[in-house]
Structure 1
Amino acid sequence: MSKLNIAVIIGSTRDARFAPTPAAWIADLAGRRDDLDVEIVDLKGFDLPFFNEVASNAWRPSQDPRAIAWQKKISEFDGYVVVTAEYNHSITAALKNAFDQAYVEWGRKPIGFVGYGGVGAARAIEHARAIAVELQMVPVRSAVHIGGGDFVKVVHQRQPMTEIETSITPAANEMLDQLAWWGRATKAAR
């Protein structure tokens, strides 16, 4: 089977965001595998409006050309890794809006998560998993949680991701293995 096409989605659009750093790290790790092709997809580059369609594109075609461009981009991939911060125990508004702007394109594909925050974005990732299930995606069990001392090192002390690799790489490899397995299974079934 050919390589799976995986998007690493940067789920924050703030100017002061940290998300591009772990996104580059996980994309590099995933790109070393012989079963995955990886592309970083930055929500900031899509200028998505707040969801304002008549209905989800599961029921009616979207009208806004920015939403349609997002849907076309998302449809290119066999699976996703979303990098998210945790804001008030949940995902960013930009990420929720991006999920809402597509429906058909997400379906029957696996999704994994890299989260960062005080508790490694555990609550945000659980919320995102529930959204993914509603979008008919397959959230994988393992995730990368950058929390506690690791979070302080890379965000507040501005140390490179290499300083925390020993504590997060095992989880990242497990997540990527699960993403690849589910990616092959769902691609064959689609």
Structure 2
Amino acid sequence: MGKIGIITGSTRDSRVNLNVAEWVKSIADKRTDAEYELVDIKDYNLPRFNESIPPIMSGGNYETPEAKPWSQKISEFDGFVFVSPEYNKSVSSGLKDAIDYLYVEWNHKAAGVVSYGSTLGVTVTNDLRLILSVPKVAVVGPSVNMSLFTDFQDMTKFNPAPHHEEVLNKMLDEVVAWSNALKTVRR
């Protein structure tokens, strides 16, 4: 059975991102096709990306002490669900740095995206597809895109529309299938 990391996409103190990630985890935990773990990037205290050698060339030898536990955690997973707010029509700087710190740990794994924003987080979903293509992450087709105006009360209290659960399960079906298939590539 594969292991899927549900990765938060915000480190702000006032974030609602953790609530959305916990909702994803609560639905994933009803499934029996993989083991799901919530991974809060805020817990890793990654500073702004400042490695002197790009991770694609470093062979996992990171200078930043915080990158080492981050590397170990991401290495445990076969696939991911990125839960991301849309900031200025893109990903948050915290999530971008968390992705940029590593390379081989992401290789040949699958991912899905759960996003939200004033325009359903569609831009962040598309940006993550492009960003994750470099470290060889296969982002599946279905995504969950939610509105700050209809899936949150006063843009702060998460209250997803019921139809999102069905879409999330379809996305998880794909993430698990692709994660299992890509195990053969990683071997």
Which category describes the TM-score, using the shorter chain as reference length?
A: over 0.9
- Counterpart contact for 1:78–1:110, Cα < 8 Å: yes
Partner of 2:71: 71
Q: CA deviation at 1:22?
A: 1.2
User: Which runs of structure 2 are paired with 1:26-175 in the superposition (5 Å)?
Assistant: 26-60=24-58, 61-147=61-147, 149-153=149-153, 155-156=155-156, 158=157, 160-161=159-160, 164=161, 166-175=162-171
Residue aligned with 1:15, SS:
coil
Change in CA separation of 1:130 and 1:159 when aligned onto 2, cut-off 3 Å: closer
Partner of 1:4: 2
Q: CA deviation at 1:159?
A: 5.6
Distance (Å, rounded) in 1 between the aligned partners of 2:78 and 2:178: 10
Distance (Å, rounded) in 1 between the aligned partners of 2:43 and 2:115: 20
Partner of 2:20: 22
- Counterpart contact for 1:117–1:151, Cα < 8 Å: no
Q: CA deviation at 1:56?
A: 2.2
Distance (Å, rounded) in 2 between the aligned partners of 1:59 and 1:171: 37
Deviations 1:155-177 (A, max 9, x none): 34x3644xx2x221121011101
Q: CA deviation at 1:28?
A: 1.3
Q: CA deviation at 1:120?
A: 1.4
- Counterpart contact for 1:118–1:151, Cα < 8 Å: no
Q: Name the structure where strand makes up a greater proportion of residues.
A: 2
- Counterpart contact for 1:85–1:91, Cα < 8 Å: yes
Stretches of 4+ moved more than 4 A in 1?
Answer: none
Deviations 1:66-109 (A, max 9, x none): 01111111101000001100001000000000010001100100
Code of the residue aligned with 2:106 in structure 1: it is W
- Number of matched pairs: 184
Distance (Å, rounded) in 1 between the aligned partners of 2:125 and 2:15: 17
Change in CA separation of 1:38 and 1:106 when aligned onto 2, cut-off 3 Å: same
Q: CA RMSD in A?
A: 1.4
Tell me, which stretches of 5 or more residues in structure 1 are unaligned?
Answer: none
Residue aligned with 2:46, SS:
coil
Identical positions, percent: 34
TM-score, L = length of structure 2? 0.93
